[in-house]
């Protein structure tokens, strides 16, 4: 009984502190001054989002933000699709050296294909994405790479994500049971047919959650394109700030929009995850131990007393 | 599952295409009926632009009054933008505006991404090495915006008290304040509304940039803030043109001169700047030397 | 590729390099502590707190870091909590990476299984004690490689602190670029400098992974 009281005290106390923090923050934010002044500040800073400023209605402002959101999603979706293609290509190039896939070429050729792919993957994955984006926009024109801001952004995002996905795909392929490769060779499938009908379908299936996670990451990362003048979501809210002087309020709006989309996608990703029992061959947990920042985590909620097991993947934080 | 993934991706791809189609790629294409377009010598840059039918101009999107992407209309507007439209009209071509930030505007010109830059750009020797400038179309002065109840009331206060001052990355204001107040702590942000927020928060003691922009900030809360001290630099704004474009600078100069003499300049000033500063003005002379601040005595 | 601009301004860039390392060291230490604490909260046998912990993790994982940085620097300032860019960047990186640490540590805890927890509790150990003495020492050991990966990710993410004027490597690079116009050279230098941090780290992590895999 005493224990129970203690638990509830900690629980309620903690939650109350949490709520109090927000109430205090809301009050402080619109100070100093009496309640009237605070309300006036509150209304002025939130104006774009419920009544508009001057000739611009709230609808105008939301349309403006909406256009940015569309551009954000567009950049993210185009990048993930391109990255899926180039990532698979890079992974296969890197794997030419691996004996398990039996790439039909002499050893020298296999190494010649594999080495540059490996170097590219490792280098790009180890550089900050923010720097890559700035580089593509500001420095690369001197190399003759002439792109508009949006294209430069998509280029940088695709380059980076391809290299991250390449490692996920490579690990996905290597996680397949050896028997799968041997069987494919035994029935005389060509290299291409082996990939198309045996290896890639199985590997891809295991990587669905990682892909969706990568999309979430991309949606977050498109905000970096605002720095190179792509008028996506974040940039547009920043422009509203310059007019309405409400950085905090616009950040809150941006945060809520990003959160809703990404949380929905993450939840969707978790649903897509397949339990170990449903995966053929090796268990999904074998995709563990990937390169730089990708991990597949097996999360058990058993400790919380729920006894539910789900494999949970996450990619680049 | 694999099939499902492919289906999902296919749907996403289609959505992306629809979005792409729906979106008017650039909000800033303005179509104006070319009225009796003047003709230029074949081979001149003006003739080239007329053949192409449009001129691409880089402006700011985040400086209200000069170049600002207005959320209400989704169109860029401001003093610089209207001048850009004048150039387009004089050529009889459409004008397409793109955003030019301090970090990219000179490369934009040298790499032929834009034909003209009109983005509150100060004419100075350093930049003249890389690009050509039109005649002066506006002269701003750099000043400080401070709290009324603060200790810092001038550049020398800022320097002697080692105050924190905020400005924008890559601006001439940054360079000037480092000369005028070498002991001050300079904090650089991407835009001036962030600087103003820092000032409100007391994380910065002052904001420094061109007077017009400061007045725009001040309008937001004149009870607590003020513009302090004497102006400490002179910033003549000019339009940026790529070097080696024979005749184009003279043409742009002509457009500016005409606007100055026929009253258009004053109309634009009264439309964009006067409501903020409350002061009237006359067009600046064509040739104004930038004045860098003096280091503290 | 390496020219005068880089050699002449080496001290300026090295300052940025040092600041990057310093920021990551502080924030990563912080995120380990915070992340582990929140992971424990998520399975704590008290009402409501696990839910709040989950909300915290989801918020920080699902919003852009750029936004979090600006918000902490400008937003907390307006509440009278006036942070210097370094403090704001360190706090945000701690929270952001902390959310990922939480998930990682949770997976480590899960790998131990509920039986040990039940056993410890049944011999009368309190929940905090069970965590401190039985669960965490084992759990943390199993997740060392993924934590190493999070550290690499943090080095890369620390570049975003440039947006709130913390003079780390990228910020110094941008300033140098605007002063010298030697864009290409300066940016190449910056990429190279970041690689000197991240490549050895990822090499170390993959060695560690292999070792642990063999040990199992």
Q: What are A88-98's pLDDT values in tens digits? A: 999 999 999 98
pLDDT at B5 over 70: no
- Show me where the domains of chain A are located: 2-50, 58-274
Q: Answer yes or no: are the C-beta atoms of C208 and C148 closer than 8 Å.
A: yes
Shortest Cα distance from C128 to chain A (angstroms)? 12
Looking at residue A274, its pLDDT comes to 54
Q: Answer yes or no: are the C-beta atoms of A263 and A203 closer than 8 Å.
A: no
Place of tokens 């028997």: A179
In angstroms, what is the C-alpha Rg of chain A? Answer: 25
Q: Answer yes or no: are the C-beta atoms of B118 and B109 closer than 8 Å.
A: no
Q: How far apart are CA B291 and CA B287, in angstroms?
A: 12
Shortest Cα distance from C33 to chain A (angstroms)? 18
Q: Between vectors from CA A262 to CA C61 and to CA A12, what angle results, nearest 5°? A: 55
Q: What is the mean pLDDT of residues A1-17?
A: 87
Shortest Cα distance from A251 to chain C (angstroms)? 7
- Which residues face B227 on adjacent strands? B145
Neighbours of C86 (CB within 10 A): 19
> Which positions in chain B touch C70 (Cβ < 8 Å)?
194
Q: Do B107 and C82 touch (CB under 8 A)?
A: no
Q: How far apart are CA A311 and CA A288, in angstroms?
A: 11
End-to-end CA distance of chain A: 42
pLDDT tier, A290 (very low <50, low <70, confident <90, very high otherwise): very low
Looking at residue A273, its pLDDT comes to 67
Q: Do A11 and C49 touch (CB under 8 A)?
A: yes
pLDDT tens readout for residues B235-280: 999 999 999 888 899 999 999 999 999 999 999 999 998 888 888 8
Tell me the torsion sign for CA atoms C44, C46, C50, C56.
Answer: negative
Eight-class DSSP state of A56: B
* Range A58-274 classified under CATH 1.10.10.10: no
Looking at residue A284, its pLDDT comes to 37
Looking at residue A60, its pLDDT comes to 94
So what's the ipTM on this one? 0.91
Q: Which domain holds residue C69?
A: 4-215
Q: Do C165 and B189 touch (CB under 8 A)?
A: yes
Output the domain CATH number for residue C123: 1.10.3720.10
* C-alpha to C-alpha distances, A173 to A124, A189, A211, A281, C39, nearest whole angstrom: 21, 17, 15, 11, 31
pLDDT tier, B17 (very low <50, low <70, confident <90, very high otherwise): low
pLDDT tens readout for residues A229-275: 899 999 999 999 888 888 889 999 999 999 999 999 988 888 876 54
Shortest Cα distance from C156 to chain B (angstroms)? 20
Looking at residue A43, its pLDDT comes to 92
* Domains contained in chain B, CATH given: 36-137+238-262 (3.40.190.10), 141-233 (3.40.190.10)
Q: Do A293 and C75 touch (CB under 8 A)?
A: no
> Which positions in chain A touch B111 (Cβ < 8 Å)?
141, 146
Q: What is the mean pLDDT of residues B21-37?
A: 50
Q: How far apart are CA C45 and CA C55, in angstroms?
A: 17
pLDDT tier, C210 (very low <50, low <70, confident <90, very high otherwise): confident
Q: Do A78 and B101 touch (CB under 8 A)?
A: no
Say whether A211 sits in a helix, a strand or coil. Answer: helix
pLDDT at B33 over 60: no
pLDDT at B206 over 80: yes
Going edge to edge, which strands form the sheet with B29-30?
A: B29-30, B94-99, B54-59, B116-117, B240-241, B132-133
Residue of B188, B198, B202 lying closest to C74 (CB–CB): B198
pLDDT tens readout for residues C58-102: 999 999 999 999 999 987 887 788 889 999 999 999 999 999 999
Nearest chain A residue (CA) to C194: A127
In angstroms, what is the C-alpha Rg of chain B? Answer: 22
For the ranges B135-149, B167-181, C125-139, the maximum mean pLDDT occurs at B135-149
On average, the pLDDT of chain A sits at 83
Residue A29 near chain C (CB below 8 Å): yes
Neighbours of B5 (CB within 10 A): 18
pLDDT tens readout for residues C104-124: 999 999 888 888 888 998 898
Looking at per-residue pLDDT, the higher value among A175 and A255 belongs to A255
Looking at residue B99, its pLDDT comes to 92
Q: Answer yes or no: are the C-beta atoms of C207 and C148 closer than 8 Å.
A: no
Q: Do A242 and B191 touch (CB under 8 A)?
A: yes
Q: Answer yes or no: are the C-beta atoms of A229 and A239 closer than 8 Å.
A: no
Nearest chain C residue (CA) to B186: C165
Residue A84 near chain B (CB below 8 Å): yes
Residue of B103, B187, B190 lying closest to C178 (CB–CB): B103
Q: Answer yes or no: are the C-beta atoms of A124 and A159 closer than 8 Å.
A: yes
Q: What is the mean pLDDT of residues A66-85?
A: 96
Looking at residue A104, its pLDDT comes to 85
Looking at residue B12, its pLDDT comes to 60
Going edge to edge, which strands form the sheet with B75-77?
A: B62-63, B67-70, B75-77
Looking at residue B16, its pLDDT comes to 57
Looking at residue A317, its pLDDT comes to 58
Q: Do A74 and B16 touch (CB under 8 A)?
A: yes
pLDDT tens readout for residues C149-185: 999 999 999 999 999 999 999 999 988 888 887 888 9
Residues 6+ apart with CB under 8 A from A150: A71, A75, A225, A230
Total domains in chain C come to: 1
Q: What is the mean pLDDT of residues A274-280?
A: 44
Q: What is the mean pLDDT of residues A167-183?
A: 89
Q: What is the mean pLDDT of residues A92-106?
A: 88
Longest dimension (CA), chain B: 75
Looking at residue A309, its pLDDT comes to 34
């Amino acid at each position: 009984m005493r224990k129970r009281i203690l638990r509830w005290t900690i629980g309620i106390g903690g939650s109350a502190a949490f709520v109090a923090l927000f109430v205090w923050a809301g009050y402080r934010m619109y100070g100093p001054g009496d309640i009237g002044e605070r309300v006036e500040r509150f209304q002025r800073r939130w104006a774009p989002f419920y009544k508009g400023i001057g000739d611009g209605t709230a609808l105008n402002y939301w349309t403006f933000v909406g256009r940015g959101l569309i551009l954000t999603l567009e950049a993210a979706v185009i990048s993930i699709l391109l990255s899926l293609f180039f990532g698979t290509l890079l992974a296969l190039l890197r794997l030419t050296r691996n004996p398990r896939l039996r790439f039909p070429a002499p050893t020298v050729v296999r190494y010649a294909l594999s080495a540059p792919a490996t170097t590219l993957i490792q280098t790009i994955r180890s550089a900050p994405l923010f720097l890559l984006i700035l580089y593509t926009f500001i420095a690369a024109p001197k190399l003759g790479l002439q792109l508009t801001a949006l294209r430069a952004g998509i280029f940088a995002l695709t380059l980076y994500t391809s290299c991250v996905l390449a490692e996920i795909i490579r690990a996905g392929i290597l996680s397949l049971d050896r028997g799968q490769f041997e069987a494919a060779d035994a029935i005389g499938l060509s290299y291409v047919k082996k990939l198309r009908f045996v290896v890639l379908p199985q590997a891809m299936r295991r990587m669905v959650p990682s892909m969706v996670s990568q999309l979430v990451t991309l949606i977050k990362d498109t905000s970096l394109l605002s720095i190179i003048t792509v008028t996506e979501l974040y940039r547009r809210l920043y422009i509203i700030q310059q007019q309405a002087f409400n950085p905090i309020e616009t950040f809150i709006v941006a945060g809520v929009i990003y959160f809703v989309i990404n949380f929905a996608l993450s939840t969707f990703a978790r649903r897509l995850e397949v339990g170990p029992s449903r995966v053929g061959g090796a268990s999904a947990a074998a995709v563990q131990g990937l390169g730089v920042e990708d991990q597949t985590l097996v999360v058990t909620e058993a400790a919380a007393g729920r006894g539910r097991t789900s494999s949970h993947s996450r990619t680049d934080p | 599952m694999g099939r499902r993934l492919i289906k999902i991706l296919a749907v996403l791809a289609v959505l992306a295409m629809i979005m792409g189609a729906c979106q008017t790629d650039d909000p800033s294409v303005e179509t104006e009926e070319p009225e009796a377009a003047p003709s230029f010598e074949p081979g001149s840059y003006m003739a080239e632009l007329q053949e192409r039918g449009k001129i691409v101009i880089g402006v700011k999107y985040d400086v209200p009054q000069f170049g600002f992407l207005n959320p209400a209309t989704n169109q860029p507007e401001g003093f610089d933008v209207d001048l850009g439209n004048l150039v387009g009209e004089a050529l009889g071509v459409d004008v397409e505006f793109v955003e030019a930030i301090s970090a990219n505007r000179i490369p934009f010109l040298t790499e032929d991404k834009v034909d003209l830059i009109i983005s509150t750009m100060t004419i100075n020797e350093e930049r003249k090495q890389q690009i050509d400038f039109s005649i002066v179309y506006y002269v701003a002065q750099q000043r400080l915006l401070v709290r009324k109840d603060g200790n810092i009331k001038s550049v020398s206060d800022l320097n002697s008290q080692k105050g924190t001052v905020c400005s924008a990355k890559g601006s001439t204001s940054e360079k000037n304040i480092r000369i005028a107040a070498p002991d001050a702590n300079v904090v650089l942000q991407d835009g001036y509304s962030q600087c103003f927020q820092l000032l409100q928060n007391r994380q910065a003691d002052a904001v420094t940039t061109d007077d017009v922009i400061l007045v725009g900030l001040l309008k937001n809360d004149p009870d607590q803030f003020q513009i302090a001290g004497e102006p400490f630099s002179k910033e003549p704004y000019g339009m940026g043109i790529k070097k080696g474009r024979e005749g184009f600078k003279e043409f742009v100069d002509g457009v500016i001169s005409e606007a100055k003499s026929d009253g258009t300049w004053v109309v634009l000033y009264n439309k964009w700047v006067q409501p903020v500063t409350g002061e009237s003005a006359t067009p600046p002379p064509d040739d104004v030397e930038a004045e860098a601040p003096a280091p503290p005595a | 590729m390496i020219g005068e601009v880089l050699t002449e301004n080496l001290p300026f860039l090295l300052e940025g390099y040092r600041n990057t390392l310093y920021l990551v060291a502080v924030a990563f230490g912080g995120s380990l502590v915070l992340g582990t604490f929140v992971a424990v909260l998520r399975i704590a046998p008290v009402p409501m707190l696990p839910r709040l912990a989950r909300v915290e993790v989801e918020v920080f994982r699902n919003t852009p870091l750029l936004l979090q940085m600006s918000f902490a620097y400008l937003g907390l300032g307006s509440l009278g909590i006036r942070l210097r860019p370094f403090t704001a960047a360190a706090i945000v990186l701690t929270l952001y990476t902390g959310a990922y640490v939480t998930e990682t540590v949770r997976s480590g805890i899960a790998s131990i299984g509920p039986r040990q927890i039940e056993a410890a509790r049944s011999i009368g150990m309190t929940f905090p004690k069970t965590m401190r003495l039985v669960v965490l020492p084992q759990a943390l050991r199993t997740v060392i490689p993924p934590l190493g990966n999070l550290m690499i990710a943090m080095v890369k993410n620390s570049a975003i602190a440039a947006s709130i004027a913390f003079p780390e490597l990228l910020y110094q690079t941008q300033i140098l670029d605007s002063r010298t116009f030697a864009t290409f050279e300066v940016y190449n230098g910056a990429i190279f400098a970041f690689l000197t941090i991240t490549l050895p780290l990822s090499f170390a992590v993959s060695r560690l992974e292999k070792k642990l895999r063999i040990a199992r």
